Each structure stands twice: as structure tokens, then as C-alpha cells.
Amino acid sequence: MNILIVEDEDEIAQLIKLYLEKEGFSCETCRDGNTGLQLFRDRQPDLIVLDLMLPGLDGLEVCARIRQQPGSKDPYILMLTAKGEEIDRIIGLSTGADDYMVKPFSPRELVARVRALLRRSLRHSAQSQVYRTPHFTVDLDQRTALRQTGEQEIGGQAVGLLDLTPLEFDLLATFMSYPGRVWNRTQLVERLWGEDFFGDERVVDSHIARLRKKIEPDPSHPSFVKTVIGVGYRFEDD
Ligand code: CA
């Protein structure tokens, strides 16, 4: 597993590298957003630890550009922020980060979060299963999601392969594993991040919003991922 650390504060970058290498991960560090993007393209890391405040391109911009990159392996992205208030910005902007941590953080907790994210990818690659509903097919083995019917373009995407981040994919796969089932946020967090999730469950809402933009003809009146008021979410496709 390869990890890219994009962090302009050397001490923090070296500390993260030290702890992750102790766990057997192979790590590379860089100090600015442009180099980070270049290394992402060259090395195709499995996970990126990405600081929010960086010289040049900031972390949000780097994150957005990585998520827009077609055809490349989609890495997990763990964002680092200096201030608690920025969490609202990260969640609100639906940047495409999979998880975030506020500085100062314990390196042990960071290692735990990284392991939790990467464990999800291992768990999923061990499965071989396909879920089908009238509009969608999700292949857990290939990790591909397909929208097979519908006349309208959605979020600029025509019928065909959906361009989803790893978490959006897992969310859709989870919903499609039990169409009609009502999921609360805690259940979705456990499915997506595992039981050792330490963060804020509201992060689920932002991934739901982004998934809706990609699969719903009208994201403000969803026809597939429905809100169940006071409880959570339900996927319907019939
Ligand atoms: Ca910084």
C-alpha cells in the first residue's frame, strides 16, 4: 500500500511518515499542492494524507482535481485541517475527502484512520458479487457502477459507467445490497468506515449529496436515494 503525504510543515509530515512506515506502508512526502498532484498522477497512491492549507494549490483544490481526473485510480483522501471551523467548510463543500482530522492530532489515531480506510478496500476486493436493480448495476469485484436506463443526462454523465469516488461507490453498493431498507447514519458509517470511525456522522450526508448529484435526475427531489425524515436514508428503484 502506497501513501502520499502532502503537508508543508516538515515536522508533521515526517511524524506521519514515521508512524505509517512503522506500520509497513510505503510513504512519499511533498510540500505543495502542485507537486502533490504530479505525484498522484505518477505514483497512483492508495491513499493521500492531504493538508488543507498548502502553498500554491490548497488541499481543497487538490482534492477536487484528483476527483475530476478521469480514468485514474481513485485514492482514499484523508484531509488534515488546522482549525475545527474548517470542518464545516470541508463537509459543506463536499470536496470528495473520505475522512478528515483536526490538528493537533495523535499520530496513533491517524494510523488507525488510515488502516480503517484501507481495510475497507481490502474487504471489498475479497468479495465477488453483482447487485442489479432496474436502473443500476454494481459489480463489487470490478468496483464498477453502471446506470443502464434513463433518457436524461445526470450531472453531465450519460447512461453508462458512473464516475464515483470509492465512498460513493460503497454507499451505492450498500444501498443496492438491500433495496427498500432504511439505514440510519450510524449504520451507514459502520458499513462504510467500520466500527472504528471516530469522526462526525454528518460526513455521511455530504457523500449522499454527492452521490445524488451523480445518479438522480433531480437531486433536490431524489427518486432513488430517499430521505427518511428523522431516521436516515432508503434506496428505492422499481
Ligand atoms: Ca499547512
Rounded Cα distance between 227 and 182, Å, is 9
Q: What does the pLDDT look like over 107-136, one tens digit per residue?
A: 999 999 898 888 766 555 554 588 888 899
Rounded Cα distance between 56 and 35, Å, is 10
**Which of 14-23, 120-129, 163-172 reaches the highest mean pLDDT?**
14-23
Centroid of ligand 1 to alpha carbon of 53 (angstroms): 4
Centre a 10 Å sphere on the Cβ of residue 226 and count the other Cβ atoms it contains: 14
Percent of the chain past pLDDT 70, that is, above it, reads: 84
- H helix runs in 76-165, sequence order: 85-92, 107-125
Closest listed residue to residue 161, CA positions, set 136, 127, 129: 136
Centroid of ligand 1 to alpha carbon of 55 (angstroms): 8
Centroid of ligand 1 to alpha carbon of 196 (angstroms): 26
Centroid of ligand 1 to alpha carbon of 189 (angstroms): 28
Rounded Cα distance between 24 and 27, Å, is 9
Centroid of ligand 1 to alpha carbon of 9 (angstroms): 6
Centroid of ligand 1 to alpha carbon of 63 (angstroms): 15
The answer to whether the CB of 205 falls within 8 A of the CB of 225 is no
In CATH terms, is domain 2-124 a member of 3.40.50.2300? yes
Alpha carbons within 13 A on the beta-carbon side of 218: 3
- The grid coordinates of residue 234 equal 432508503
Q: Is the pLDDT of residue 25 over 70?
A: yes
Contacts of 26 (CB under 8 A, 6+ apart): 1, 2, 3
- Domain extents in the chain: 2-124, 127-235
Q: Is the pLDDT of residue 90 over 70?
A: no
Centroid of ligand 1 to alpha carbon of 175 (angstroms): 37
Q: Is the pLDDT of residue 156 over 80?
A: no
In this structure, which residues have their CB less than 5 angstroms from ion ligand 1? 8, 51, 53
CATH architecture label of 127-235? Orthogonal Bundle (1.10)
What number is the average pLDDT over the span 167-190?
89
pTM, full prediction: 0.59
What number is the average pLDDT over the span 158-185?
87
pLDDT band at 1 (very low <50, low <70, confident <90, very high): confident
Same fold, 2-124 and 127-235: no
